[in-house]
Amino acid sequence: MIKKFIILIFIFIPIKALALIEVDITRGNLNPLPLAVSPLSIDETSRMNFEQILDKDNIGSEISLIVENNLRTSGLFNPLDKKAFLQAPDIANLKPRFEDWNLIKAQALITGKVNYINDKLRVEFRLWDVLAAKEMMALAFTTVPTNWRRVGHIISDKVYERLTGEKGYFDTRIIYVAEEGPKTQRIKKLAIMDQDGANNKFLTLGNELVLTPRFNPASQMVTYLSYFKNMPRVYLLDIETGTQEVVGDFPGMTFAPRFSPDGKKIIMSFAKDGKSDIYTMNLETRLVERITNHPSIDTSPSYSPDGKYITFNSDRSGYQQIYVMKNDGSDVKRISFGNGLYGTPVWSPRGDLIAFTKLHKGKFYIGVMRTDGTGERLLTENYYQEAPSWSPNGRVLIFYRETKTNSKGEGFSAKLWSIDLTGYNERLIKTETDASDPSWSSLLSN
């Protein structure tokens, strides 16, 4: 799908170094920036063509709604009510009357235009600084009409990047485990959806238990644990073709898989005779390498973004703690020393932090610490939550939460949540079914 999706980007005005509006991303959502997302204007012929192809009354408005929703959920922006807009979308895109937008307290304005050209969807958009009365950015995309949601996500990413100085995370997908049925006999399927919950699709039928799916860096392959034929093994799935294969030939359970940052290896645990060690398998050469060798449980390995280090979970001290070692298994250092148990370490894509799950006094926390274990910060506390996964820009964590059941064992649910690195902007991610084990893809465009 990604290969088929060719975006042509024309940069109209290559002004770069001019910082006009800036959003400080490190502050959390204390004071989101008020901005106006004007509906993208569309001529009548184009509107009718897209209505026929996409069954959407006005694709210009639909795309702007996606942008609005993305920017709002980021917690950094406050998109203003469209009813207050004074200027028509087509004129605003040509030359906004900044006084009008200033009047409704918009500090930034997004305008644009949609055209139907040679069976393609062409979208141009502009970002304006209302106070400075200047254009900040102007871009155009051409793609197949069915990609209209992605166009909305790409616009959101461009705006986010221009205003915060950091890459966005909207043109991304989430792979997760969809859950149904009673707690004692859960049916679990692999599922994939856009970051905003749209385009949900099940990838397995639920005949066998599946757990912990993770994307490869290109977000086209997934590694996960499947109980196919009652043999828990790490599998590899090509999302596009649907082909699956077992990873390696291990005489026992393999689990907790992840890709190396170059996508060439899978790192995972192999359990035998009551001990679990960490192994890698090179997907090209099929070479298996043993990384740890200890009578304890070593699991949940995750590479640093440069591939030089591995963080993992081990109970070699007697309790679950987080460790860091070199990628060949040497130089093992414990980094978690606070009270409680630590699990599921995941290295941030920026390389500076490790996210984790912590269990202390009957509560579960999602937190982050520096890679040497200092600066521990707990972001959220709950009855049960675990398995954080980073947004590709390293600013947001997605994880899952399970509820406590009542005395009869009823009321169980599992849901996906996200939270900013700042500890603000905690959000429920709506899914069709119950959900767990989320993994965030890389940015699909650029």
Partner 1 sequence: MKKIVFEKAPRSKLMRLNKILKNTLVVISAGIILTACATKKEVAVEAPKKEETKKEETKKKEEEVTKIEKIAGQMQGDVYVGTDSVKYLADGVADRVFFATNESILTTASRETLRAQAAWLRANSNITVVLEGHADERGTREYNLALGERRANAAKDYLMTYGVSSDRITVISYGKERPVDSGSNPLAWSKNRRSVTVKAN
Tell me which residues touch partner 1 (CB under 8 A). Answer: 17-24, 26-27, 33, 107, 129, 131-132, 182-186, 209, 211-212, 225, 230-232, 252-253, 255-256, 269, 271, 273-276, 297, 299-300, 313, 315, 319-320, 337-339, 341, 343-344, 357, 359, 361-362, 374-375, 383-384, 386-387, 402, 404-405, 407-410, 412, 437
Amino acid identity, position 252: G
SS3 163: helix
SS3 166: coil
Question: Quick one: 387 or 421, whose CB is closer to partner 1?
Answer: 387
At its nearest, how many Å lie between partner 1 and the CB of residue 276? 4
C-alpha to C-alpha distance for 177 and 174, rounded to whole angstroms? 10
Question: Quick one: 129 or 196, whose CB is closer to partner 1?
Answer: 129
C-alpha to C-alpha distance for 117 and 125, rounded to whole angstroms? 16
Question: Quick one: 58 or 403, whose CB is closer to partner 1?
Answer: 403
Question: Quick one: 264 or 384, whose CB is closer to partner 1?
Answer: 384
From the CB of residue 377, how many other CB atoms can be counted at a distance below 10 Å?
A: 13
Q: Which residue, among 363, 322, 374, 368, has the nearest Cα to 343 in the 3D structure?
A: 322
Question: Quick one: 119 or 273, whose CB is closer to partner 1?
Answer: 273
Query: Which residues have a Cβ under 8 Å from the Cβ of 294 and sit 6 or more positions away?
Result: 275, 277, 314, 316
Tokens of 415: 């849901």
Per-residue DSSP letter, 26: G
At its nearest, how many Å lie between partner 1 and the CB of residue 292? 12
**Would the CA dihedral through 239, 244, 245, 251 be positive or negative?**
positive
At its nearest, how many Å lie between partner 1 and the CB of residue 20? 6
At its nearest, how many Å lie between partner 1 and the CB of residue 294? 12
Question: Quick one: 3 or 16, whose CB is closer to partner 1?
Answer: 16
**C-beta separation of 37 from 179 below 8 A:** no
At its nearest, how many Å lie between partner 1 and the CB of residue 382? 13
At its nearest, how many Å lie between partner 1 and the CB of residue 396? 20
At its nearest, how many Å lie between partner 1 and the CB of residue 1? 29
At its nearest, how many Å lie between partner 1 and the CB of residue 377? 10
Amino acid identity, position 294: H
**10, HSE (Cβ side, Cα atoms, 13 Å):** 10
Output phi, psi for 82, to 5 deg.
-65, -25
C-alpha to C-alpha distance for 297 and 320, rounded to whole angstroms? 9
Question: Quick one: 104 or 211, whose CB is closer to partner 1?
Answer: 211
Question: Quick one: 30 or 205, whose CB is closer to partner 1?
Answer: 30
